Structure 1
């Protein structure tokens, strides 16, 4: 079949490469426009665009999927089907009707679980033991279309979002090829998603990545892994942001520390939570490189009983400020 491929991040590249090695013909690639990145705010093309360029494939980078010119370009290409993997923008109904067999979406979860923008993050954060990828026909609803197939991936106790996504991207790429093969030879019929087990997860912001030390240690450890490598978990120490790259929940006997409280020794940094204690691995001070937690502590020399700022404490302080302002205004 003549295939249009749409995708943007690194996780979509294995699917593009798998299609290039298949019996199908990739006739064009659609990806998000170059974005500014780094301190110099340099325009950087997407990983999918870079891969397509090496493969000498035509590249379309519409600013908006609703652009009439983009619709005209797709119609002119006359695709049999379109494969979409983490493209990063919603497609309007007029676009969905262009390919003869529709748009086939590779989504990195076992639908209907974790519909939305960050399924791998959600699977790790909320303690799922299994996840995977799903191919389905795209429709107007958010990840609601009928399913062609799935592939299952176990979640390891040490998995970060990056490591897990790397595995799913590879296995999901093969699933996408098999799905298009089945559509081509009429051996696959999509099945509607069940109504039970539906869950959603939105895009994860930097604000969402702040650690709340007033939750159990196991939940904090999951959160850190779920946010690695992007956007990265962080906390606040003496008014400055501190990235937290790794942490380990202590088993057995551990000191009693209040949420966020630090205990420093020559070789380790311990921090309390609402239930349990964590040993910090790597951290990244604001404006500096990643370093071991013990090296960071030797530099800042935390005082006895000093603690990381708590999200709940910040909310309480914000509420007190609002109440104080309201009282002053009333007077």
Structure 2
């Protein structure tokens, strides 16, 4: 049992700036430190406003960051970084841009590949200074020591964990606190063409049910869920790790989100959408819609949830999983 007096270590960037009107201070810091070559990692939208950073010297902009970047996107960036030889890398955008920026600050010229550094503390050294300028709230990548890239074979995440990818400095561009009493809005939805809901209803229900059953499984036994994931995608386990270490690595990421898998409103079923969320979110953006049925449907929810949830929970509680065991959720 862990001791209440066990020591912990908090890792954060050495310099943190927070507030409005600070974005140009990235350039001021670069001048103070003699930076002559900078690589900015951004999507097309943020690349168009790189001038706000007021960076000195030669500035190379990689403007092709994709949502949930994959290894091909990383390879494109590393080719640009090799040519630019930056002294400073700036991640300018959301978590995708900042994760790629971390890797651009350590891999070029290191002799290491993504496969070499995947896992915990395998990066040899930081090759360039790193500044992070998040333009979204909630990712936390700007202050973290982990970068995620999607692998091509399984579409699963490849994680790099290292103190060397912690930023030299970071600067929140704009963060709005959630007003008291405002319900959570938005999230991840299953999307389909409207016609497909009619012509392929069974397929749509099956896809939704798989998400509902897996969420029920995870909520019942998170460790079992981690083992099932590792059985399906064993290559995502850190190289040379034991079963216990691999499961722990999965739990670090999933445990922070698992509570959000539970329907947040009394009486709501798994996957059910509350139309009030659309109304509130549109009002926050100065918009109004009288007919919300254009944006969502709950017509499939009853069929999606037509499974034995208690049987899935029982299987989760008895699951042994990875590296041996039966991973199919029944019910």
- TM-score in terms of structure 1 length: 0.32
Tell me which of the two structures has the higher relative contact order, counting C-alpha pairs closer than 8 angstroms and 6 or more residues apart.
2
Larger strand percent? 1
Q: Quick check: which has more Rg, 1 or 2?
A: 1
- TM-score in terms of structure 2 length: 0.32
